[in-house]
Amino acid sequence: MSRDPMGIALAALNSIASSPVIDKLGLRETIEKTLYQGTKTGFKALGATSRQFKNVTNLVTPARPNAPVSTTSKNLFDLNLSEEQQLMQDSIQRFAKDLIRPAALDADKNAEVPQDILTQATELGLSYFAVPEELGGAGTERSPVTSMVVAEELAYGDMGIAVATLAPIGVANALTHWGTASQQSKYLPSFLDESPLLASIAVAESEPLFDANQLKTTAKSVGNGFILHGEKSLVPLAESCELFLIAANLENKGPRIFIVESSTEGLTVSADPSMGLKAAQLGKVNLNNVKIESDCLLGEADFDYQAFINFSRLAWCSLALGTAKAILDYTITYCNEREAFGEPISHRQSVAFMVANIGIELDSMKVLTQRAVARAEKGLDFTQEAYLAHVLCGDKAMEIGTNGVQLLGGHGFTKEHPVERWYRDMRSIAICEGGLHL
């Protein structure tokens, strides 16, 4: 990501927000509000400039953001974030700690994200990164690394709220990456509205040992369109969505992705309450001979279904990293402050070893995920790396969640502490397919 006026402005806001002087002056709330809203305001100005001078209403060819310029060898991956990525990480981290974390308990209890959090998330302007400049956004570069950082930091606040926030952005990412010119022109501008388009990706099905490459949902070519039949589960924001990207097995051609509006006849949605991710409002989408036009097939001949699934898996890995880091930080503090027999329980070797193991497993998860995401950013095949990262993150996420509860003892079983919620959320990493897209 190249340095630009927006990056300079973000740097200045971050510098001001981190200064202890604003606390003495009683200006923190005002400054942080400016910080949260500044990103979107800047993007709106960029978008307005693009619309004013380019006057683009319908694309002739699909708009594809450029890949970031790399300074490392094509076969190597760099673990260091660019200055702009670091600034974004700082901003999202502050948003997650100050706003998402305090709202997470009620979001889980009420099974929905508080409206003020949704409003503040919109003010961050994350959707603008997913939409190309040609359509009013600020997406000049497609960076899976940046998307990973955003997902990780949001999940540090709360995974359920992160899923609800990122689900529509994932659809915008997919449309930008693979959508045709007409598909992009029709749907992408709606993600920049004051009330952004709510959308989600539906891949998972209620099948034992579900395999994203062996779909039961079918699509049949009929005349100038398709007929879809089947049922999808674990779909974020299902009952609120206006648009779905639905994975179905197209006869004689294998799995593909179809763009289906929620108002389409034959499509019904229902709640599907789950153990975790309650704030994400997971639900089912039933397709009873749903008829759609031929231009509802996502992408053209260059569409890569396996890459689509890989991006989704890496999004879930990124969420696991953020929540695992939250568990690690929380248990370290708790074990240092909780005393038994006249000393902190962290002085007990078994406790110290368990905390250390969480840190070790977190690092292993992060390296595998970073490697896969870095290969994706360089345009290399990342199927094997994404699969390995997802398998490891799914396994270790459950272990870390269990150990977090164990370290808190009886407190780990109560809602007084957030670890029991993180434990429930972490169980989703191994079973969720789709829903998100880096």
**What pLDDT is stored for residue 391 in this prediction?**
97
User: Looking at the domain 201-296, which fold is it?
Assistant: Butyryl-CoA Dehydrogenase, subunit A; domain 2 (2.40.110)
pLDDT of 76 over the 80 cut? no
- What are 234-293's pLDDT values in tens digits? 999 999 999 999 999 998 899 999 999 999 999 999 999 899 999 999 999 999 999 999
Ramachandran sector of residue 252 (left: φ over 0; alpha: ψ -120 to 50; beta: rest):
left
Contact between residue 142 and residue 64 where contact means Cβ atoms under 8 Å apart:
yes
pLDDT of 161 over the 70 cut? yes
- What are 285-315's pLDDT values in tens digits? 999 999 999 999 999 888 999 999 999 999 9
Contact between residue 173 and residue 119 where contact means Cβ atoms under 8 Å apart:
no
The pLDDT-based confidence of 44 (bands split at 50, 70, 90) is very low
The full DSSP string for 16-71 is HHT-THHHHTT-HHHHHHHHHHHHHHHHHHHHHHHHHHH--SS-SS---PBPPPP-
pLDDT of 55 over the 80 cut? no
Q: Diameter of the chain by CA atoms?
A: 77
Q: Domain extents for the chain?
A: 5-59+81-195, 201-296, 305-426
- What are 109-153's pLDDT values in tens digits? 999 999 889 888 888 888 888 898 888 887 777 789 999 999 999
Q: CATH code for 5-59+81-195?
A: 1.10.540.10
CA distance linking residue 246 with residue 191, whole number of Å: 18
CA distance linking residue 345 with residue 349, whole number of Å: 9
pLDDT of 422 over the 50 cut? yes
- What are 394-405's pLDDT values in tens digits? 999 999 999 999
Is 329 exposed, middle or buried, given 0-12, 13-18 or 19+ CB atoms closer than 10 A? exposed
Please say whether the structural domain 305-426 has been given the CATH code 1.10.3720.10: no
For the chain, the straight-line distance linking the first and the last C-alpha, in angstroms and rounded, comes to 17
**What pLDDT is stored for residue 20 in this prediction?**
55
- What are 338-386's pLDDT values in tens digits? 999 999 999 999 999 999 999 999 999 999 999 999 999 999 999 999 9
